[in-house]
Amino acid sequence: MAQKQTAKLKSADYAIIAGLICLTLLYAARYVNFSQHPFEDAAILMRYSKHLAEGHGIVWNIGEKPVDGATDFLFMVAVAGLNKTGMPLEQAVRLLVALSHVLTVIIVYVAIVRIHAVSRWLAVLSAAYLAIGPGVAYISAYFGTPFFGLFVAITWCVANYMLKSDESHLLSLIFALCALLMGLVRPEGVLLALFMLGALLYFRTIQNSKTIVLHFAVVFVVIGGLYFVWRWNYFGQPLPNPFYKKGGGHLYPGSLRASVYHAVVMGAPFLLAYLLATIRSIDTLREALFSLMPMAAFVGMWILLSNEMNFRMRLQYPVLPMLLISWPALARGVELPQEPTLPRCGRIAALVTRTALMLAVLLYAYSSFTHSSGTGRDGRYDVAIMLGKYESKGYTMAVSEAGLLPLYSNWRAIDTWGLNDQWIAHSGRITEAYLDRYKPEVIAFRADFSPLAAPQGGSDFMAMCLTLKSYAEKHKYVLAAAFGTEPGRTHHYYVRPAFPDSAEIVQGIRDTNYCWYRDGRACNNYAISY
């Protein structure tokens, strides 16, 4: 394959990059809710990072065997490293996520200008679209999604650069190492790396990709293999614990539908470029397939897992930087004419048209991805802080809400849904006998019922809640609270009687100024109001 030259950055590009950084930071400053508490899944990972930073290993409960409930492995380690230096846990997460978001915006711009050599306005459009995209919501909620997106963008840039270059050992090694890091950030990164490799083999042909395949195989077999052996030995199972709970060897058509819908919503303004590429020529069709193949495979693989806690399309987010890097190459040759080649009226018309297109696309991004983050109030955080006064007592909680309550109370916790409990994940459901092993002092769960509203439906989550309720009632637990803004949407708190702080904890829960996590509205306590 003959080597093609890539464009070099000029002074104007550095000025644009500075402007994009300012846009990203100002937009984040305006729309990130810095008073918001971590969302449940984000708080789960933070608990693992905290324990790792404190020297306890990757454990859910201190003193117990390791559990891989934090699927963002490399992100968890990075957060723990910053926390180890003395940086508060929340600041460590926000710093890493925000920095990743800014860097990804820069990478999208640079990749388009250098690799595809198209008009700068297309690169600005893509980068600005990402800057005001869903990444801001992830910063608010403490999710490490932009950290994964950064490694996806870097790996995809290298893959695109390889199409413009002759086969080389250095470039092939860099691609393999980037792909490995992407897989260490999140497990699905391994599959995405294979999808990217498949796209390269399709476009370059296997005959011209022997060096790429060799380095990829060596890196993944040697380094990746060593990591895989270590993690299997360390955690006692090959896959992260949530995969056993959320997958279970079943297919989830609903998850596939949601995945396709989310990918379309995120990339809607740019899908026309792919449609046009399929009908323009064989060359543009092949170039479109190069990026469509890994993106479509990544979107389709979510049929293997349930769609739980897919906050703001975060599971499909890695497709977005890939799409934004790729689509401008398909617009090459059908862009608006360059202004110097046009008469004055033509230059004005081209400028107005480009400006209108950019505003329309960015308005779509704003309306689709920018949402109010609420008041930042969450009653689970307030209860957790209250319970934290008793952390030295060695008490145990059994919770379906395994994020804020365990993180900020520092209690030993049983995750009754099983994302952080190997026995429940492999058994399929918690049992009263399993609860009785621990005799938890507090049982807390989110339910679609209350003393004023009967249980409805027969989901697995409802069955778990009814098991917890049954155990609590059989063992004479005190229903301290059923907090909610309506009777059919509540957080239940049961407290075991007859331990030293029982009555005090019941009163502490009841005295909590409890706000609903979705909208910050003050809650009623349906346990004492019926």
- Per-residue pLDDT tens digits for 96-137: 999 999 999 999 999 999 998 888 999 999 999 999 999 999
Confidence of residue 164 (pLDDT cuts 50, 70, 90): confident
Termini Cα distance of the chain: 77
Q: pTM, whole model, 2 decimals?
A: 0.95
Q: How far apart are CA 197 and CA 214, in angstroms?
A: 11
- Residue 313 has a pLDDT of 96
94 pLDDT above the threshold of 70? yes
| Angle subtended at Cα 46 by Cα 53 and Cα 260, rounded to the nearest 5 degrees | 140
CA distance to 12, 102, 266, per residue, from 362 (Å): 22, 17, 12
- Give the pairing of strands 396-399 and 489-495: unpaired
Torsion angle defined by CA atoms of residues 494, 497, 503 and 507, in that order, rounded to the nearest 10 degrees:
10
Name the residue with higher pLDDT: 341 or 272. 272
The residue written with tokens 């040759």 in the block is: 333
- Per-residue pLDDT tens digits for 37-61: 999 999 999 999 999 999 999 999 9
Pick the closest to residue 487 from 528, 454, 520 (CA basis).
Answer: 454
Supply the DSSP symbol for 446.
E
Q: What amino acid is encoded at 12 in this protein?
A: A
CB 209 within 8 A of CB 200: yes
Supply the DSSP symbol for 476.
T
% of residues, the chain, pLDDT over 90: 83
Q: How far apart are CA 188 and CA 277, in angstroms?
A: 29
Confidence of residue 375 (pLDDT cuts 50, 70, 90): low
CB 178 within 8 A of CB 347: no
Q: What is the CA radius of gyration of the chain?
A: 25
Q: How far apart are CA 299 and CA 259, in angstroms?
A: 6
- Residue 3 has a pLDDT of 46
32 pLDDT above the threshold of 70? yes
Please name the helix (run of DSSP H) or strand (run of DSSP E) that holds residue 125, with its range, or none.
Answer: helix 120-131
Give the CB-side neighbour count of residue 404, counting CA atoms within 13 A: 22
Pick the closest to residue 144 from 209, 178, 189, 179 (CA basis).
Answer: 189
Supply the DSSP symbol for 132.
T
- Residue 4 has a pLDDT of 53
Phi, psi of 90 (to 5 degrees): -65, -40
Q: Strand (E) positions, 351-416?
A: 396-399, 412-415
Average pLDDT, the chain: 93
86 pLDDT above the threshold of 70? yes
